[in-house]
């Protein structure tokens, strides 16, 4: 029985050592040194190709090395293969840091001060109280909930939107498409932490921006496909949005002529809001292999019909 690793080589060394300590009976192989492909039962990867999938006849579980799975293109993955996303506590911690940093930056008008500094303008604004600032999170999964829990002690008015609208302590929750206008209408700062699926692609667009209060700001830490990129600058120029923190793009890295590079009200970061941590993720993945071998449910298994 073998595990095939197809990801960052440094992470591979750490995972290999963890496998040797914790599950020595599972042989650790690193792509492209597949060996006898018939031995491979488990694969961990960020992306896969049809060719790779077809070359692994006995694959049982595909582990995403990230929290999201859209980049795996599940149409290439045979239906009997179980797909599991990464529930790494280290990744969650980093996302919480990034969301808090971004929300506080927008709350305290840092895009305004950065632009003013560039223009050598001393332009103080009266800071709003956090208790008057409405922060809404789209996606109340692992990352959305953890981010809201960290924002809560700062005093913001918090809301969250998801398919089910499941309750979150201290957060006003909204469920499904029908509740989206009410949810958006009460967000001064909107955070996108949705998975990218057929239903959520393009959800940050001219139409949804128009439902936000005038001058709202957005943070996209989901996927580039959530944002209709052509709609962002017009909304900023019209004053419907005041600023945007964009960590993910449709095409990464951003091409040199991408208009977001130079817009003063867009802060662009290179898909760094969070990343799987090499050490903590090894333990999470190995625990799932142990559970799978024992016939138990794995943490983070994806519902392939829902796409997340
Ligand atoms: P998750 O636990 O699967 O949670 C997904 C949430 O989105 C759930 O609350 C779900 O609703 C909601 N949702 C899904 N489809 C919806 C729809 N059509 N309408 C309304 N709500 C919907 O995901 P997660 O672990 O929190 O991760 C979220 C995403 O973050 C990942 O998929 C990935 O794309 C992104 N991410 C980005 C970075 C980065 O560095 N920028 C890093 C890690 C992850 P229910 O609760 O009702 O099911
Ligand atoms: C990163 O974007 C992830 O999905 O883990």
Answer whether residue 302 is part of any domain.
no
> How many domains, in total, are found in the chain?
2
Domain for residue 307, yes or no? no
Q: Are residues 47 and 133 in the same domain?
A: no
pLDDT under 50 in the chain at which residues? none
- pLDDT for 212 equals 98
Per-residue tokens: 48: 């896969």
Query: Which of 272, 275, 277 to mutate to test ligand 2, by most ligand atoms within 8 A of the CB atom?
Result: 275
DSSP string, 121-160: -----PPPPGGG-EEEEE--SHHHHHHHHHHGGGT-EEEE
Mutate to test the pocket of ligand 1, among 92, 98, 143 (most ligand atoms within 8 A of CB): 143
Same domain, yes or no: 66 and 100: no
271 is catalytic: yes
**76 and 113 share one domain:** no
Atom of ligand 2 nearest to the CA of 248: 2
Cα 32 to Cα 5: distance, rounded to the nearest angstrom: 9
Query: Is 223 noted as a catalytic residue in this protein?
Result: yes
- Ligand 2 atom closest to Cα of 271? 2
Query: Which domain does 32 fall in, by range?
Result: 2-88+276-293
Task: Say yes or no: 72 and 99 in one domain.
Answer: no
302 C-beta closer than 6 A to ligand 1: no
pLDDT at 268: 98
Structure tokens, 83? 């797909």
CA nearest to 193, candidates 245, 128, 255, 230? 245
Q: Are residues 181 and 288 in the same domain?
A: no
The whole-number pLDDT of residue 60 equals 98
Q: What is the pLDDT of residues 30-70, one digit of tens each?
A: 999 999 999 999 999 999 999 999 999 999 999 999 999 99
Burial of 51 (C-beta count, 10 Å sphere; 0-12/13-18/19+): exposed
Residues 72 and 194 in one domain: no
CATH number of domain containing 142: 3.40.50.720
Tokens in use for 264?
């003063």
Select which of 263, 271, 291, 304 is catalytic.
Answer: 271
Given this model, what pLDDT does residue 44 score? 98
Looking at residue 5, its pLDDT comes to: 98
pLDDT of residue 279: 94
pTM: 0.97
Residue 298 belongs to some domain of the structure: no
Q: How many angstroms separate the CA atoms of 68 and 81, rounded?
A: 17
pLDDT at position 52 is 96
């Amino acid at each position: 029985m073998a595990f095939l690793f197809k990801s960052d080589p440094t992470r591979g060394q750490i995972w290999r050592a963890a496998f040797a300590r914790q599950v020595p009976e599972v042989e650790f192989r690193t792509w492209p040194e597949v060996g006898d492909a018939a031995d491979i039962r488990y694969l961990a990867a960020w992306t896969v190709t049809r060719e790779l999938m077809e070359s692994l006849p006995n694959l049982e579980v595909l582990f995403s090395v990230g929290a999201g799975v859209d980049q795996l293109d599940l149409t290439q993955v045979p239906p009997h293969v179980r797909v599991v996303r990464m529930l790494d506590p280290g990744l969650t911690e980093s996302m919480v840091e990034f969301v808090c940093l971004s929300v506080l930056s927008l709350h305290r008008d840092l895009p305004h001060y950065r632009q003013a500094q560039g223009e050598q303008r001393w332009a103080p604004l009266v800071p709003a109280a956090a208790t008057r600032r409405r922060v809404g999170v789209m996606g109340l999964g692992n990352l959305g909930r953890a981010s809201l829990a960290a924002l809560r002690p700062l005093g913001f008015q918090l809301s969250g939107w998801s398919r089910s609208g499941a309750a979150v302590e201290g957060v006003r929750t909204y469920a499904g498409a029908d509740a989206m206008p009410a949810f958006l209408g009460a967000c001064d700062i909107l955070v996108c932490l949705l998975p990218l699926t057929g239903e959520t692609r393009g959800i940050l667009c001219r139409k949804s921006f128009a439902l936000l209060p005038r001058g709202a700001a957005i943070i996209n830490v989901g996927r580039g496909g959530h944002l209709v990129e052509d709609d962002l600058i017009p909304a900023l120029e019209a004053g419907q949005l005041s600023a945007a923190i964009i960590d993910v793009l449709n095409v990464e890295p951003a091409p040199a002529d991408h208009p977001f590079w130079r817009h003063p009200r867009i802060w662009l970061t290179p898909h760094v809001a969070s990343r799987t941590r090499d050490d903590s993720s090894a333990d999470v993945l190995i625990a799932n292999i142990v559970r799978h071998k024992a016939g138990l449910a794995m943490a983070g298994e994806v519902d392939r019909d829902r796409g997340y």
